[in-house]
């Protein structure tokens, strides 16, 4: 194999491949980036960690076609640190090394045994759907922070077709739930009512890969696939096959006739919470709201940190006198909204609270309040 690549043409793709390659995997095959130089003057880069699979094809000058596996991290770091310009990759079969050459610079990298080489499955073209990559990225951002890290089906992003071309996108971790919706007949038909589950660790990688360019996506029985519009790069991840909880059961609780309503200014509330957070500790991570029609006394106290109390202007209509939320989680939730004013729907002092905003259509986050324990920290 003898091929000349241009750093600016291939670096981004090589770095994407390298980000997938595991550092400490026992199998040399998994630690390798596989490079295939073709007679049509392209070079294809492939990498996998068994679960995530990446393929990228880029322009090159191929003098002699061939294929080679090379330590992914080492090769990419070398290419990244070389100056801009042409880089020649040449396979020395006698020494089993890949020679990397640029001007007066020359480097040798040991190659992987080619017996391990295998092509990764191609993108499934039939039934593929064109979509905006930045919009998919935005959906992941809106719900991803609510996805559990380690609770099986709860560690997944869930997409489901519901009605009239509408698709729900959900994230749940047991004490928080985020849902956003959009209308797209083609995507709704593709996903269907059975839905699509993708693990959080995989959508984190997908999110890094997305940008404002359009993408094609498709899925098979076992895998979810994305490729960019010109088809030069393709990533796929496993699907999770499990039953997602019926999230409509706890959303419906917000529609109770006796639900309480709070309207707050987002900026003022976040600034208040930011100060209150100073007075939280490991034993008490909450902010307490004593509610009245036009104001709430917002407070926190802990023996090690002291106490804080502020008045927060708001509009309140309901029967709940006091409620507590984990401060850090509530701040994170509010930060995902664009609306200047937010409405909180309180079911009970320990039941789900739904947060919405008029400038964030089809978006809602639920948070579970904390149980309030009557504890005396200071005694005369």
User: Mind listing the pLDDT tens digit for each residue in 33-76?
Assistant: 999 999 999 999 999 888 999 999 999 999 999 999 998 888 99
| Mean pLDDT on 347-369 | 96
| Mean pLDDT on 107-132 | 89
10 three-state secondary structure: helix
- Please determine, for residue 379, whether its predicted confidence score (pLDDT) is greater than 80: no
Structure confidence at residue 32 (pLDDT): 85
User: What's the burial of 257, exposed, middle or buried (CB within 10 Å: 0-12/13-18/19+)?
Assistant: exposed
Distance CA 204, CA 107 (A): 34
Structure confidence at residue 332 (pLDDT): 97
Q: What average pLDDT is seen over the chain?
A: 92
Structure confidence at residue 92 (pLDDT): 92
Percent of the chain with pLDDT over 70: 96
CA angle 119, 123, 127 (to 5 degrees): 155
How many helices and strands (H and E) does the chain possess?
A: 9, 26
The neighbour count for residue 299, using CB atoms within 10 Å, is 18
Distance CA 36, CA 68 (A): 7
pLDDT digits (tens, 9 = 90+) for 148-198: 988 778 999 999 999 999 999 999 998 999 999 999 999 999 999 999 999
pLDDT digits (tens, 9 = 90+) for 238-291: 999 999 999 999 899 999 999 999 999 999 999 999 999 999 988 889 999 999
Q: What is the DSSP letter of 330?
A: H
Distance CA 356, CA 133 (A): 25
Q: Identify whether the C-beta of residue 277 lies closer than 8 Å to the C-beta of residue 328.
A: yes
- DSSP β-ladder status, 295-302 and 286-292: antiparallel
- Please determine, for residue 374, whether its predicted confidence score (pLDDT) is greater than 70: no
The pair of three-digit structure tokens given for residue 222, joined into one six-digit string: 């076992």
Q: How confident is the model at residue 327 (pLDDT cuts 50, 70, 90)?
A: very high
Structure confidence at residue 73 (pLDDT): 86
The pair of three-digit structure tokens given for residue 243, joined into one six-digit string: 């039953």
pTM of the model: 0.88
Of 28 and 290, more confident: 290
Q: How confident is the model at residue 227 (pLDDT cuts 50, 70, 90)?
A: very high
- Please determine, for residue 78, whether its predicted confidence score (pLDDT) is greater than 60: yes
Structure confidence at residue 380 (pLDDT): 34
37 bridge partner residues: 43, 66
Structure confidence at residue 377 (pLDDT): 41
Nearest-10 Cα torsion for 366, 371, 377, 380:
120
Percent of the chain with pLDDT over 90: 79
For residue 52, give the H/E element and its range.
none
Structure confidence at residue 313 (pLDDT): 97
Distance set, CA 106 to CA 24, 62, 83 (Å) = 27, 19, 13
Distance CA 181, CA 143 (A): 11
* Interhelix angle 7-20/200-209, nearest 10 degrees: 170
- Concatenate the DSSP letters of all residues of 213-249 into one string: SEEEEEE-SSEEEEEETTSSEEEEEEPP-SPPP-THH
């Amino acid at each position: 194999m003898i091929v000349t690549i241009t750093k600016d043409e291939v670096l981004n793709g090589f770095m994407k491949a390298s980000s997938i390659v595991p550092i400490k995997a026992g199998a040399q095959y998994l630690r390798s980036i596989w490079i295939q130089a073709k007679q049509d003057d392209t070079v294809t880069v492939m990498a996998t960690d068994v679960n995530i699979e990446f393929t990228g094809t880029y322009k090159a000058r191929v003098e002699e076609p061939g294929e080679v596996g090379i330590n992914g991290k080492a090769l990419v770091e070398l290419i990244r640190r070389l100056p801009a310009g042409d880089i020649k990759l040449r396979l020395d079969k006698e020494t089993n090394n890949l020679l990397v050459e640029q001007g007066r610079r020359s480097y040798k990298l040991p190659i992987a045994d080619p017996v391990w080489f295998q092509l990764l499955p191609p993108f499934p073209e039939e039934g593929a759907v064109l979509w905006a990559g930045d919009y998919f990225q935005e959906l992941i951002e809106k719900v991803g922070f609510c996805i559990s890290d380690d609770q099986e089906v709860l560690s997944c992003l869930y997409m489901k077709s519901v009605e009239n071309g509408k698709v729900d996108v959900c994230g749940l971790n047991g004490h928080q739930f985020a849902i956003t919706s959009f209308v797209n007949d083609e995507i709704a038909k593709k996903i269907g009512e059975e839905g699509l589950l993708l693990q959080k660790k995989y959508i984190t990688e997908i999110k890094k890969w997305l940008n404002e360019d359009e993408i094609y996506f498709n899925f098979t029985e076992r895998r979810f696939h994305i490729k960019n519009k010109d088809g030069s790069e393709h990533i796929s991840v496993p699907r999770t096959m499990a039953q997602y909880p019926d999230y409509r059961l706890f959303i419906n609780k917000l529609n109770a006739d006796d639900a309480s309503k709070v309207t707050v200014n987002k900026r003022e509330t976040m600034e208040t919470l930011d100060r209150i957070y100073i007075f939280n500790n490991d034993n008490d991570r909450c902010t307490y709201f004593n509610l009245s029609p036009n104001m709430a006394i917002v407070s926190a106290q802990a023996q090690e940190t002291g106490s804080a109390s502020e008045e927060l202007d708001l509009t309140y209509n309901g029967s709940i006198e006091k409620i507590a939320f984990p401060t850090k989680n509530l701040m994170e939730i509010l930060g995902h909204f664009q609306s200047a004013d937010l409405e909180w729907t309180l079911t009970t002092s320990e039941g789900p609270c739904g947060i919405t905003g008029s400038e964030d259509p089809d978006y809602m986050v639920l948070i579970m309040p904390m149980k309030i324990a009557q504890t005396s920290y200071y005694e005369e």
